[in-house]
Structure 1
Amino acid sequence: RNTLLKKRREEIDITFKAIYDYLINLDGENYFNIIYKLCSKLSGKQGEILFNGKDLKRLPNDFETKLASTGLNAKISKNTADITGGFILKCGDIEENMSFSSMLSDRREQIEDLINRELFAE
């Protein structure tokens, strides 16, 4: 039984890595479509968005227009965040960490339950 549980844990870890790799390697259009969806979850808030250096350099020309349509009132920081993908919204002293690694980590238990139901249903 312990061997089976260990194997399941390894498979879940592999799945999480695959999800993370998929997100950070999306092409620009698909990547930023996810960013806009994340921004819409913060609708009504205001602050400053920090991206990593790579994403800051590849922002679409219409990013600010699409950002405004999400309901998030934020300006783009020239400073960068030490994250691999996603963004951080700074609202004064408060930070909303919308990085992919943070969101996957925060939702790991829920996602594990889903993976267990889908992959390991008996």
Structure 2
Amino acid sequence: MSIEKITEKIISEAQEYADNAVAEARKQEEEIINKALEDADKILLNVQNNIKAESDKVFSRRNSLAQLETRKMILQAKQDAVNECFERAVSEVYNMDEEKYIDFLVHILIDIGVKEGEVLFNKKDAETVGSKVIVLANEKGNKFSLSTNTIDAKGGFKLVSGKVEITATIESIVDDIKEEITPDVVKALFD
């Protein structure tokens, strides 16, 4: 065999080896790229699932918070309506016909159970109805006197008998019955 043929054979074998190595490298490259794409798809799917789960949690929390705020606003509106009813009740009593108002005050004064003492009214009531209330209450065997001092109230009175002071203002009377009748007011307003 000549040198040329040996050289040719070596070159041919080297070429074949190189071609096989390149083919094997391309095959491995394709496998690596396919695996990388497959892994990327899995990662992307995982990220998308995590984003969806997190967004669902955020939406759920925000929705719950919104519902809570709505309930609080409704409750506050109902409480405001109930308070408005009690404020109107105070106003209704204070603005009732003078004769009915006097009768109302006399009954409260007598129902207290104390038979004597000094009665303090607000300035307006002291001037307009105070003496009439005292006279009518005393006709029932009591010994009340009209005080020259006044109280700060929309209506009603304060009775001072010795060291005992009894507040019977319209506001305090409504406040005293407020807790008891609030369920009835709520039922009447919202049922």
Q: Which amino acid aligns with 2:96?
A: L
Q: Within 1, Cα distance between the matches of 2:108 and 2:135?
A: 15
- Please name the residue that 1:23 is paired with: 93
| Structure with more strand by fraction | 1
Q: Deviations over 1:16-37 (max 9, x none)?
A: 1111111222232121111011
> Residue 157 of structure 2 contacts residue 168 of structure 2 at CA under 8 Å; is this kept in 1?
yes
What is the alpha-carbon distance in structure 1 between the residues aligned to residue 158 and residue 141 of structure 2? 16
Q: Which runs of 5+ in 1 are unaligned?
A: none
Identity of aligned residues (%): 26
Q: How many residue pairs were aligned?
A: 121
- Opposite residue 28 of structure 1, the aligned amino acid is E
> What is aligned with 1:119?
189
> What residue in structure 2 maps to residue 73 of structure 1?
143
Give the greater-gyration-radius structure (CA). 2
> Bigger relative contact order, structure 1 or 2, given CA contacts below 8 A and separation 6+?
1
CA distance in 2, matches of 1:93, 1:61: 23
The two structures, once aligned, show a CA RMSD in angstroms of: 2.0
Letter in 2 for 1:12: V
Spell out the pairing of 1:15-94 with structure 2 (5 A cutoff).
15-59=85-129, 62-70=132-140, 72-94=142-164
Partner of 2:146, secondary structure, is: strand
* Matched position secondary structure for 2:108: helix
Instruction: Give TM-score scaled by structure 2 length.
Output: 0.57
1:96 pairs, out of 161, 166, 185, with: 166
Unaligned runs of 5+ in 2: 1-70
Cα distance in 1 for residues equivalent to 2:172 and 2:131? 27
- Tell me if structure 1 keeps the 8 A contact 2:82–2:185: yes
TM-score by length of 1: 0.84
Q: Secondary structure at the match of 1:79?
A: strand
Superposed CA offset, 1:73-118 (max 9, x none): 3111121112220000001222100001111122221121220232
